[in-house]
Amino acid sequence: MSASSHPKADIVPFTKEYSGTVRAWIDSAEVFKDVCRGKNFPPATDIVDTWQRKDVSSYLLFTGGKPVAYAELWSRPNEMAVEVAHLIVDPARRSQGYGSRLLQLLYEQGAARQDVAKIVAHLYSDNRVALGCLLKGGFELAGTTGYTQGLRVVRLVT
């Protein structure tokens, strides 16, 4: 997808004031499973706060002054990589290109790091929309995950 076809939106570092907003986007058991392999829907009210760690860079995608998507970059120094995780879009904004826009901006964030040679992501369910977004975003199927059932996709830094 070319940059011109992405909706106008920018990423900003996540702040805890948006934890409730992001948590509200987990609006079904299926989304909960897709985003974080969650099993007991609904998730805990503090779930987004539990995702914040020192080796995680969390971001919100904003458009029109409002957050529309969230995701993280996890450091994977042993692989010279960062992993895109917990990517979720506001249900009212899904299938409008915001996931693709956030994915592209996260790729740019990761690719700018000197110690990163690739960006990886994992899919733990049969989420064809997410897989399509990743493939359109330049990721390629690299096999299965090593620690649980799922697919691994990779985009090399160029």
pLDDT per position as a tens digit, 51-94? 999 989 999 999 999 999 999 999 999 999 999 999 999 999 99
Q: How do residues 125-146 score in pLDDT, each as one tens digit? A: 788 889 999 999 999 999 877 6
Residue 25 sits in a domain of what CATH number? 3.40.630.30
Name the average pLDDT for the chain: 91
- The domain of 78 spans 3-117
Residue 53 domain-assigned (yes or no): yes
Has residue 149 got a pLDDT over 70?
Answer: yes
Q: Residues 3, 104: contact at Cβ < 8 Å?
A: yes
Token pair in block for residue 156: 């090399």
Classify residue 18: in a domain, yes or no. yes
Is the pLDDT score of 5 beyond 60? no
- The mean pLDDT of 16-43, rounded to a whole number, is 95
- Is 131 contained in some domain? no
CB 11 within 8 A of CB 102: yes
Indicate whether 69 belongs to any domain: yes
Cβ atoms of 21 and 62 within 8 Å: the answer is no
Q: What angle do CA 105, 117, 108 make, to 5 degrees?
A: 10
